[in-house]
Structure 1
């Protein structure tokens, strides 16, 4: 079986992709009934279960890069790639012990509302428009990474993949509000986690278990070799950025959405 054949998606793959996209759109349409005002639209009326909000926060740290770019870093730098995910763990610990309850205690609807109340309208407007510009580039880079993955697997043009994916995401987010965001994240986690477990077990079985994996690794990949592109400076800066970055506006919205501070 050739590599080209392995990379070729079949009819069943296209059906799965189509059904998945349809499911995401249907979620947005279904939860539209929950949105009777700004509080429901932006923070789920404080009725989102903590498990759903928590998994949504967890999934916010995932992208196609996790399975493509990160895999490349692991192949190049070995166990040093684990260091890139230390910040993710710290971000949830900081959220649990420091930020979650405090964000929920504010009893506001959006982070921008907090900035206006805490400072002034100028700060509110400046930060709002800055975030719009920042999110355009962030969303664009995320869609590009996703489109590269889908295009290489299915043969779709990258530009068309970006357009269709972006339109689908925009549709269910605009129609369904935060309910649509957290429920689609929850569904994605329900699919992704079992898949990852199966992938890990199948991969270990293919190389002869953990012992076979460690035996086949080259010596330089068995140590925390932090030099060159992924050195200590890079690792420390990345960890600090992710630790605090994952507790800003995107995560705060999940903290707002639950019933009380203990749920947050």
Structure 2
């Protein structure tokens, strides 16, 4: 298999790509007409139906990192990659909808950091706002770098051109259309991404003799039988992931997963834009249903690449795990279908980066600029600041894009970021939400110490002082250590410091009331089949049942 990654694109393929660019920009311009206030720009006026916010919720996560990274993990770790979906996403998404969204939406906060200001104090608020802003531009940079490398390899675009073109399109439709432009494009992008990935799975399975042929080929690969199971041999580290079940359940399934899905404002922002409480609560639960099935177009192609691409897994060059999907596109797809697949990759990049940038501009404007730099200005002023913050976020994302260059598997880098930024934040949130006695000082120091603990774990691992079986194992334990530190610091400092009075915590913590779960519901939203608890219970049952064939 020579020839590198270059695709033989023809006029039809480029026409499909051009039509997609035009459509995306058109959506941004159309959304501009609905923007009159900063709430319209940052939260879509809190007016969107649940099916739109639900698809945008899952699409915002279905970025280039998800597609390229999870296919890479499928090739490297086999079926154990399914943990990132069925235990590492769905339970947390349901928890967000049923338990946490009533407090986010009911308190009318405009961002996750703003909740921390109300629950604790301004120092905790500022710490989270700054750390979130940093995390978003880092992750946006990874999205940008990943896709630029792919476009360079597949289409021959110079790296700089690919970076600038992709960034410019995202910048244009968010600056013009705000969050509505991002969300409606994310709905479109969801279908484009899936349409681009399904042919890879179908044609790949046909090439290896169907599901049975793929399983036989995996058994004969370097992964062996272990590549077809999710929980087998997790009592130790003799498994492809190099992880113990404790690290998988507690580190990935609890701390990393709940930390990402319940406190990452880039995701929560989509639910906050919903038209009422019921729609907000159903947003992440609706998103959980397609999340169950996405492994069919990410993990399975990774396995197909493992058994069909000779030499896959090199440390550098075209045969890195990160190139599993591009290599399959080159080898399997005819023209026309190829154009759809390339467009799907571009759409995935835009969905991921748009979520990062729209989260960044909201937190920067509301939680940093308005709160600590220029307060009490007219609403038009903050709308202008938000558009300028969008430009700044994209430019910084371009600058941080090349940090990802040192990682042959970009999902390892992303998991390290989640361990550092999301795990301690989730621990602080969950304790503060369920323990009204937790004090503002305990909130600040818990978050800070947990973050520093995760950072120290990562640095000691990279320095050779701590030893783990893999980078992913380090991120699982780093997240667990951060969570444990938050619990300890909160437990020690809370009895020594003064809590907030109960009257200031209504609607923010359990047991004090102040949350109206049904007051703004539309008549149709009261139907039994729209119950968040029912929808959440069904998707949790499905996630457990899906494990059975690959246990």
Other-structure match for 1:244: 259
- Aligned partner of 1:231 among 239, 242, 245: 242
**Residue 148 of structure 1: CA displacement?**
1.5
Give, in whole Å, the separation in 2 of the partners of 1:24 and 1:39: 22
Give, in whole Å, the separation in 2 of the partners of 1:115 and 1:101: 15
Gaps of at least 5 residues in structure 1 are: none
Gaps of at least 5 residues in structure 2 are: 281-551
Q: Does the 8 Å contact 1:53/1:257 carry over to 2?
A: yes
- Aligned partner of 2:269 among 250, 253, 257: 253
1:138-217 equivalence runs, <5 A:
138-217=139-218
Other-structure match for 1:77: 77
* SS of residue matched to 2:89: helix
Change (3 A) 1:65 1:109: closer
Q: Deviations over 1:83-111 (max 9, x none)?
A: 23231222322222222232211223333
Q: Does the 8 Å contact 2:76/2:240 carry over to 1?
A: no
1:23-172 equivalence runs, <5 A:
23-85=23-85, 86-172=87-173
Which sits farther off after the overlay, 204-213 or 223-232? 223-232
* SS of residue matched to 2:71: helix
Change (3 A) 1:13 1:114: same
**Residue 181 of structure 1: CA displacement?**
1.1
Give, in whole Å, the separation in 2 of the partners of 1:134 and 1:124: 15
Q: Deviations over 1:56-84 (max 9, x none)?
A: 11012212233323222212221111123
Q: CA RMSD in A?
A: 2.5
- Aligned partner of 2:228 among 213, 222, 231: 222
Give, in whole Å, the separation in 1 of the partners of 2:121 and 2:78: 48
Taking structure 1 as the reference length, the TM-score comes to 0.88
Number of residue pairs matched by the alignment:
264
**Residue 112 of structure 1: CA displacement?**
4.1
* SS of residue matched to 1:263: helix
**Residue 121 of structure 1: CA displacement?**
4.1
* SS of residue matched to 2:262: coil
Taking structure 2 as the reference length, the TM-score comes to 0.44
Change (3 A) 1:5 1:63: closer
**Residue 179 of structure 1: CA displacement?**
0.3
Q: Does the 8 Å contact 1:64/1:149 carry over to 2?
A: no
